[in-house]
Structure 1
Amino acid sequence: MVGGFLKREEEQLRLWDPAPLPLRFRAVSAELAAGCNIGPGLRTGSSGVLPLDQPLKVLAAAYEGKEPGRLLVLGTAGSGKTVLIRRFAMDRLKARGPYGKDPVPVIFSLGSWDPHKTSLRNWLIGRLERDYPFLAGDGPGGRSWADTLVMTECVLAILDGFDEIADGLHEKALRDLSAVTLPVLLTSRRPEIEAAAKSCVSFDGIELTDLTLDDVAGYLLPGAGAARGTDPPATGTAGWEYVLNRLRLHPDEPECARLTAVLTTPLMVELARAVHRSGRDPARLLTGREPDTRETLEDHLLDRFVPAAYARFLSARSDGKHRTWPAERSRHWLGYLATHLRQLDTHDIEWWRLGTAMSLSSRMVASGAVTGFVSGVLTVLPSGFLISWHVIIVTFLNMLGSGLAFGFLQGLMSSTAAGGGFQPSRMRIRIRGGSKRVKQNLLPRIRSGLAGGLVFGVVYGLGNAVYVAVAGFPWLNVFLVFMDWFLVGLGVGLGTGLVLGLMTGVEAVIETKTSVSPADLLKTNRTTVLTQILVTGLIAGIGFGVVVTAINGFAIGVGHGITMGVMVALGSCTLTAWGRWIVLVRLWLPLTGRLPWAVNAFLDDACQRGVLRQAGAVHQFRHARLRDRMAEVHGRREREREQPAEATGVS
């Protein structure tokens, strides 16, 4: 499974088109490694080339030189660290074989780890259970399989992005990393490691260095060899051959020195090729018409990459999946996603958290509005669609009551520890019973149901009490109406919690054969949530309908039962990960233009184009620099869009 995922990601990022760039390295400096035991794989001061289309023997020797395996990979942003660790993981898998005893390499994005909140081991366990849900199942000794694999050191933790850990946490994180006995490969930029290392790090390591023009020429001119090192071609002043020859012959010219500096990292070389492969002349980079500093030139390539990616036709996709995404709109949507990730301080596009970029009040309004609208429409059922002032008022009160109730519940769960309920379930529905899980979850789900029912009953009771009071009924009637709905809320909450608690007996951990892609995790959660809300809505509707039937007759009881059942089912759905996805990501955000209607298809297409990549159960931008640049540009455009409106309002 791990090998298949790595292979697919290499294809999506087009790492073999036309061939992987070689990487240059030197051993970790003597200052950083002073006093440490350097293994047999590396000698301080040594350097060399790492051809990514061949086994990484130098890295393998350095990793195996310590017990347990330890390796540090340093490099600047875009220097090729992420690509290198994927090739290293593939090499370890091949050397291990399908039934080997060596640990399985698994890549983790380290940026979301907070060492003050959780240990490295526990964080790794949580990430394994998220990306491979079947590992959350019970293993030996009552522990999950993920816990067992980490504790028995069956996982080689490839920790990508030490520098992306939040500021102020690096020193604590490095101490914890040096203390664990797990096999580890760690990547980082140099400044963060040096600032955190009060003494030497307990890792052998390499530092990736700048590419040469020969390296770049072999990639940009496949099959043509290095640039000739003579005068630029007399046949014209265009193309990469002309550009590379000019960089060799005139290194002191400002525009040549600038472009040479940009083309020292694999990220920028790949972006330059992607941007200019569709006919755009790379010689323009030397004309002075392009940005005039290294930083602005790099930003220019980052800005041009997305339009170039969306101008490419995806011939590898089946005819039924071809879809045109406008480049400008795609850049806007990707910019919103990048801004969302910056706000959450994460690299993971998790479908269950996409709506959290909205303010809490906006999420409450959106969830309440959807629930209230549907509930209000259903109120018409008991009246047989005979419209009158009474029906209109009751409909409005139901819309207001259910919207406020479930809007408040949305805010309550989002702002307290109960917000964990928005995490996607790792369970599927099965027929066989599970009494152990029922015992573990029955009381917590009953308590959650009672809390939700209390909010529902109070809000609905107050709304109806106000209506009765305004209508001129005695205060005793007002009090009785409030108490009726208060008790109804408690009863519905108790019943919902009890049903959901008992349903844990028919839940099972997702099976091993299940894919860990975001789309499949979403599909599994949809099935689980729909089953749960169908049962709870049915129970709530039957219970409420029986009570109303006993008081007002069968016809009214049936209508009220249907209304209550649908209201409870719909409201409960908005309090799950999949329900919030539907309300916020599939409805609200597309309505406001911040995301496309077909979000899943858009994310999958962005992966195919190499803008995003899939990392287990989540998506990520192909590089942090691309994410940060898109967020910056998106924020600037949003501010520019708001300024004219503000100016108009003032005038």
Structure 2
Amino acid sequence: MTNELGTRIRQLRVRACLTQEQLAKRTTVSVSTIRRLETGKLTDHRLSTLRLLVEALDVEPEEWRRLTALLDRTQPVPVGRPPSAGESAPAVQQTPPAEAPAPARAEPLQVPAPATPSPGGVVGAAAESLAREVARRWQREEKHRRLHDPFPLPVRYEPAPAVLMDRPENVQRLPPEAPVRDLDLSGDLRTLADTYRTIESQRLVVLGRAGSGKSALAIKFALDLLAAPQPPLRVPVILGIGSWDPLTVTPRDLLVDHLLRDHPHLARTTPQGATLAAELVDSDLILPVLDGFDELAESLRGPALEALNETSHPLVLTSRGDEYAQAVTDSNAPLVLAACIELADLSVEDLDAYLPRTDRLSASLGSPGAAGVWGAVLEALRSPGTTAGAQLRQVLGTPLMVTLARTIYSDVPGNDPAELLDTARFPTGRHIEEHLLANFVPTVYRRRTPERSVPAPRQPNRDPDRAERWLGYLAHSLTTAGHEGHDLAWWRLGASVRTPTRILYTALLGGLCMFVANWLVLLIAVLAGYLPSVDESAAFTVAVFGLYSAFTFGIAHCVLAALRRAVAVPTQVRLRLAAVDPRVDHRPVREMLTRFGVGFLGGAMLGVGHTWTTALARVLAGTLPYADVIDAAIRDMLVFAVIFGLTAGLAFGLVAAFEVPVDIAAAATPMRLLSVNRGTAIRQSLVLATVVTVGLALCGAVVVRLLQPILPWKMMWPMEEALVLGAVGGLGGSAAYAMAFTAWGQWLTVTRFWLPLTRKLPWDTAAFLDDAYRRGVLRQAGAVYQFRHVRLQQHLARSYRETDQAPDM
């Protein structure tokens, strides 16, 4: 059926004189989906995709019935003429199997189209599991942000200016001459999902000033879609785009990379060779909620809008109003097919209802309707003629500032919000905002007395000044080349260290690992009686090979830095011998071949180094004349390079063969992802050490036996000495690889050692980050942390730069 359907679509496309690219431009279907459909590689078909194609191909009603019959022979055959170009798809009229199909109608039915059935197979199961995980994650985040304590702030929205949205007939996807209906774009936090469902294009822009509640609105929107009785056609996935470079990364690749980062189990590959993340995106099963368009660099907003305008895929975009308006002006077009709403400020009535209920420390707590500590403030807000009341009303018009004020004054005894009315101290609203931002961190890190029954409190007491300095460094480290990133990823914290320092650090670390492994193996050999003692030549060999190893690892880091891959990304796999799902290809052959090639090159370099250090050691011991050292080294160099290269290549390839994507239980939170990577790195080291130790002895024996007949000199490969050499290479090489070239190793050596040593971060960095999240300074966005708001991040970074002028290491 799959091949027959794809063949028929290809015939119709050729009959219409269209290429795959031209057909993709006429529809919202990607070229890759069309190509996979026509070649029979698309196993999860969707009725909506078929409808889009027949709209563009202008097929006859009889052909439409044949195509839908091919799509699913077990279901009643849909009837009715196919939708014409630009016309909304007709509803499918179904008849019982025993009856003859009803005659085709002359016009489309004016009723909503039925929901697209969920795809089956691996991709369908992945979509369902992703929806459950997204719902759990944002429910947890919603509770953590206290959005319902005591009740959600009433964030309201209204239609944005018409110049910021597409024409109504385009938004409603109407055919020519069809009447335009009124689109209700007003509502509040509870109705956004319903408003979105009324937008035929399924493209929406949400505007609001800084701190107006756009991120909270996005969370509520995603949860409402997922909680609907009718499962959504697409899984809403919220992703921050502040670090997106639209000049190098397409929107599709951005979404795929985000899914792979936050949901590592989607790295599984389907029989077609694509990852589940890519299949979900290409099958139109993801609704991207792009948060933070305004956080893009100014020069990238126009290209980003143009990149989004190249497709008509459903999406939701959030931004500050001025930044989006400027991008629209620069691009000479808004987001195509998109409606646009704008968030309104909180009213005095909203504050009057909300702020008193957050005060649970005042003496008037038992008096219904009492204003508590907020009495004077609310009285000033109700007086429109006062300067203090007017500027404070402007400041407290956003949920962000209300939340900060609530934390500082409602949650801490003794703080009086009436000080915000002092116009001499706070002459403008900007001064009030800076005051709230500056006091937020010291407030949440105030000293608490732990209960005796709790031996390890969840939020240990930390010095507020030190905590603010560490948070300031984290905020400052996100600023690179004048562009602020917003994803605080644990594996990228080491990138704040200068590249020359990191190269030197990697070289010393690699050399130290090989040096310690050499001495450890020699000492074990002496204790076991294999060697009588460690002589001068052996000590010289250990020292020289350690220096050469340091040089090799330093060069490797230089190459990776030149390729912009010096910072390792978290592994998306774990080691497992048994297959989890026989329908999924766990590690492609291409991946194993790539690992083999990299391992072969690295092993060959170490083999060359071993050759020269051995030759020099023999000269020092008097067993090799100085005049013959070059000839001996060159003669053995090729053989040792092949032996070491094959051993390392086979070891890395074998490890890749046993790697499978992490399961859904490891869906990434920052600390969970760190734990998974720690376990994977340790297991990889143990496997590599064992395989290299045994493999070097066996590979050496095989290579020597194969080359001996064609070499003019006699070669010896004693098995006991080969095992000792393999143990050195296995222990030292695997430890150096794990410490210097894995995400967990870089975290351990740089973030857990070097940065605390230079007083940039605390020694318990992981606990500090988790504690900052629990206190509300940071928030979790999948596998990364983010500051509670970009305004807080900017304030902390600026304060750090003002108080610490010392250059970064």
The count of aligned residue pairs is 619
Quote the residue 1:533 is aligned against. Answer: 685
CA distance in 2, matches of 1:291, 1:395: 67
CA distance in 2, matches of 1:522, 1:119: 28
Give the conservation status (yes or no) of the 8 Å contact 1:72–1:206: yes
CA distance in 1, matches of 2:671, 2:449: 20
Q: 1:84 to 1:390 in 2, by over 3 A?
A: same
Q: Write 1 or 2 for the structure with the bigger share of helix.
A: 1
* Helix, strand or coil at the partner of 1:134: helix
Quote the residue 1:447 is aligned against. Answer: 597
Is 2:606 the counterpart of 1:606? no
Q: 1:189 to 1:464 in 2, by over 3 A?
A: farther
Per the TM alignment, residue 591 of structure 1 is displaced from its structure 2 partner at its CA by 2.0
Write the mapping of 1:288-367 to structure 2, written as runs, cut at 5 A. 288=423, 290-311=425-446, 320=456, 322=458, 323-343=460-480, 345-367=484-506
Quote the residue 2:572 is aligned against. Answer: 426
Identity rate of aligned residues, in percent?
A: 34
CA distance in 1, matches of 2:570, 2:385: 55
CA distance in 2, matches of 1:25, 1:405: 59
Which one-letter code corresponds to 1:85 in the other structure? A
Quote the residue 1:204 is aligned against. Answer: 339
What's the TM-score once normalised by structure 1's chain length?
Answer: 0.85
CA distance in 1, matches of 2:406, 2:341: 27
Q: 1:389 to 1:191 in 2, by over 3 A?
A: same
Quote the residue 2:157 is aligned against. Answer: 25
Per the TM alignment, residue 411 of structure 1 is displaced from its structure 2 partner at its CA by 2.5
CA distance in 2, matches of 1:593, 1:183: 47
Write the mapping of 1:390-429 to structure 2, written as runs, cut at 5 A. 393-416=540-563, 419=566, 422-429=568-575
Per the TM alignment, residue 327 of structure 1 is displaced from its structure 2 partner at its CA by 2.1
Is 2:65 the counterpart of 1:65? no
Query: How big is each residue's C-alpha offset from its partner over 1:294-349, in whole Å with a ceiling of 9 and x where there is no partner?
Result: 22331221121111112275999975453333322222221222122222742112
Quote the residue 1:522 is aligned against. Answer: 674
CA distance in 2, matches of 1:96, 1:543: 58
* Helix, strand or coil at the partner of 2:587: helix
Quote the residue 1:228 is aligned against. Answer: none
Which one-letter code corresponds to 1:292 in the other structure? P
Quote the residue 1:124 is aligned against. Answer: 255
CA distance in 1, matches of 2:607, 2:565: 19
Of stretches 156-165 and 113-122 in structure 1, the one that deviates more from structure 2 is 113-122
Q: 1:168 to 1:467 in 2, by over 3 A?
A: farther
Q: 1:151 to 1:442 in 2, by over 3 A?
A: closer
Per the TM alignment, residue 568 of structure 1 is displaced from its structure 2 partner at its CA by 0.8
CA distance in 2, matches of 1:257, 1:467: 83
Q: 1:513 to 1:464 in 2, by over 3 A?
A: same
Per the TM alignment, residue 47 of structure 1 is displaced from its structure 2 partner at its CA by 5.6
Write the mapping of 1:45-444 to structure 2, written as runs, cut at 5 A. 50=188, 52=189, 55-56=190-191, 59-96=192-229, 100-139=231-270, 141-197=272-328, 198-201=332-335, 202-222=337-357, 239-249=373-383, 251-253=385-387, 255-276=388-409, 277-279=411-413, 280-288=415-423, 290-311=425-446, 320=456, 322=458, 323-343=460-480, 345-381=484-520, 382=522, 384=526, 393-416=540-563, 419=566, 422-432=568-578, 437=587, 439-444=589-594
Per the TM alignment, residue 178 of structure 1 is displaced from its structure 2 partner at its CA by 3.2
Per the TM alignment, residue 74 of structure 1 is displaced from its structure 2 partner at its CA by 0.3
Give the conservation status (yes or no) of the 8 Å contact 1:73–1:207: yes
What's the TM-score once normalised by structure 2's chain length?
Answer: 0.69
Unaligned runs of 5+ in 1: 225-236, 644-651
Of stretches 75-84 and 394-403 in structure 1, the one that deviates more from structure 2 is 394-403
Give the conservation status (yes or no) of the 8 Å contact 2:164–2:340: no
CA distance in 1, matches of 2:615, 2:466: 49
Which one-letter code corresponds to 1:588 in the other structure? W
CA RMSD, 1 decimal:
3.5
Give the conservation status (yes or no) of the 8 Å contact 2:655–2:687: no
Per the TM alignment, residue 553 of structure 1 is displaced from its structure 2 partner at its CA by 7.3
Per the TM alignment, residue 84 of structure 1 is displaced from its structure 2 partner at its CA by 0.9
* Helix, strand or coil at the partner of 1:311: coil
* Helix, strand or coil at the partner of 1:441: helix
Q: 1:170 to 1:250 in 2, by over 3 A?
A: closer
Query: How big is each residue's C-alpha offset from its partner over 1:606-627, in whole Å with a ceiling of 9 and x where there is no partner?
Result: 1111111111111111111111
Per the TM alignment, residue 82 of structure 1 is displaced from its structure 2 partner at its CA by 0.5
Query: How big is each residue's C-alpha offset from its partner over 1:565-587, in whole Å with a ceiling of 9 and x where there is no partner?
Result: 21111122121222222222222
Give the conservation status (yes or no) of the 8 Å contact 2:541–2:617: no
* Helix, strand or coil at the partner of 1:298: helix
* Helix, strand or coil at the partner of 2:552: helix
Larger Rg: 2
Q: 1:418 to 1:25 in 2, by over 3 A?
A: closer
Give the conservation status (yes or no) of the 8 Å contact 1:243–1:283: yes
CA distance in 2, matches of 1:403, 1:598: 28
Give the conservation status (yes or no) of the 8 Å contact 2:540–2:617: no
* Helix, strand or coil at the partner of 1:115: coil
CA distance in 2, matches of 1:444, 1:183: 37
Quote the residue 1:7 is aligned against. Answer: 139
Q: 1:513 to 1:17 in 2, by over 3 A?
A: same
Per the TM alignment, residue 507 of structure 1 is displaced from its structure 2 partner at its CA by 1.8
Q: 1:564 to 1:499 in 2, by over 3 A?
A: closer
Quote the residue 1:567 is aligned against. Answer: 732
Per the TM alignment, residue 419 of structure 1 is displaced from its structure 2 partner at its CA by 4.8
Give the conservation status (yes or no) of the 8 Å contact 1:27–1:42: no
CA distance in 2, matches of 1:176, 1:208: 25
Q: 1:482 to 1:219 in 2, by over 3 A?
A: farther
Unaligned runs of 5+ in 2: 1-132, 173-179, 360-370, 528-532, 702-714
Q: 1:442 to 1:24 in 2, by over 3 A?
A: closer
Write the mapping of 1:608-647 to structure 2, written as runs, cut at 5 A. 608-639=774-805
Give the conservation status (yes or no) of the 8 Å contact 1:239–1:281: yes
Taking CA–CA contacts closer than 8 Å with sequence separation of 6 or more, which of the two structures ends up with the larger relative contact order? 1
Which one-letter code corresponds to 1:501 in the other structure? G
Quote the residue 1:231 is aligned against. Answer: none
Which one-letter code corresponds to 2:511 in the other structure? G
CA distance in 2, matches of 1:256, 1:471: 89
CA distance in 2, matches of 1:119, 1:495: 39
* Helix, strand or coil at the partner of 2:298: coil
Query: How big is each residue's C-alpha offset from its partner over 1:390-435, in whole Å with a ceiling of 9 and x where there is no partner?
Result: 6665554344222222222122223226658x22221222223698
Q: 1:431 to 1:378 in 2, by over 3 A?
A: closer
CA distance in 1, matches of 2:457, 2:762: 16
CA distance in 2, matches of 1:579, 1:84: 38
CA distance in 2, matches of 1:223, 1:298: 20
Which one-letter code corresponds to 2:681 in the other structure? V
CA distance in 1, matches of 2:633, 2:508: 25
Which one-letter code corresponds to 2:518 in the other structure? T
Of stretches 457-466 and 186-195 in structure 1, the one that deviates more from structure 2 is 457-466
